[in-house]
Structure formats: structure tokens, C-alpha cells
Amino acid sequence: MEIYYNKEEDSSSITFATLTTFGDRLHYLMIELHSLWLTLPQVGAAFALLFSFMGISVVISVVAAFLRIIALSVFTVFGAKRNNRFQFNGMKNCDSRLKAINEMLNYMRVIKFQTWEQHFNKRIQAFRKQSTGGRPSSCTPSKSVFSDVNSFHCHCNGREVRSKQLVGSYKVMQTLNI
């Protein structure tokens, strides 16, 4: 705040504008604060004047108006809940339809991949035949399982070959050309 009171040649108009802005804001705030606590006595005074001039019919109409306001509020709350529930169910159904379409597309991709796998498997088998000259190799791995780093299982001509050491499994892999 001391900047505003420090009068210099260049900043005097800026200081004046800032102080008037703050003053206006404070003025409008006071009006709003007064309207909060003055509303109830003003409505009470208006109701008392109407009752003194018109009688019990004013009381009945005011009570009916309040009941209408409460009924509309309740109707609005329940209507909003019903509308939200309807929109939620609609989105859930849309999600289930999209999920089904997505699964269908994924299954189509799997079918495409399997088709390509068969195509490439035929080509790989053709290349293997060319490299071995049509003769079957003496040791073909029909089943390979890496259960952990130190074990390697392979079937050679129907017999299982096991190597418990990493060096031994590396030699088996070299022998099998894997």
C-alpha cells in the first residue's frame, strides 16, 4: 500500500486510478452485503403490509407459492436424476457395443496374422528344404521350452536332451543351429 501513497511525478495518475478502483469495488461490495441481510426484513415488512390490507387470502397465496416452489424443486431434482440415469445407461450400452466391435476387429486381426503366419511358414519350410537339399536333418527340435535361464529342453529324434548349465545349453543351441 505504501506505493500508492508515495507520490511521484509519473505515478500520481496511476495511484489515483488504482485508489478509485478499489473504492468503487468496496462500495459495490457494501451494497451487496447490505442486500443480504436487508432482504429478509424487507420481505417481512411487505408481507405484513399485504396482510394488514388484504387479510388471510395473502397468507394462503404466499403459502401456496412456497409449496409450489418446493414441489418444483423436488420435481427438478428427481427429473435430473432420471435424466442422468438415462444418459448413463445410454453411454453404457454404447460402450458395450463399441467393446463388441473392438473385439470383433481384434479377432479379424488375429485371423489375418494366422493367415500370414501360414504363408511365411510355407516359405520358411521351402527355404529349409533348399538349405538341407531335401534331406531331413538328424536332430530337429520339435519342442523347446525355456523354463529358466539354466535349463533348456529339446527333443532330438524322440529323446529328450537336458542341459543344466548355461554353457551346456549354449552348446546344444549351437549344435541345433538355433
Q: Is the pTM for the entire model greater than 0.75?
A: no
Q: Answer whether 123's CB lies under 8 Å from 131's CB.
A: no
Per-position pLDDT tens, the chain of length 178: 455 555 555 566 777 778 788 888 888 888 888 777 888 888 889 888 888 888 888 889 888 998 999 999 999 999 999 999 999 888 888 788 888 888 877 777 666 666 667 777 787 788 778 776 655 555 444 444 444 444 444 444 444 444 444 445 555 555 555 5
Can you give the residue ranges of every domain in the chain? 2-130, 137-178
Helix (H) / strand (E) element for 30: namely helix 12-54
Closest CA to 1 of 18, 17, 13: 18
* Secondary structure (3-state) at 70: helix
Q: Quick one: cell of 26?
A: 468496496
- Taking the C-alpha atoms of residue 84 and residue 96, their distance in angstroms, rounded to an integer, is 18
Task: Report H helices in the chain.
Answer: 2-5, 12-54, 56-132, 166-176
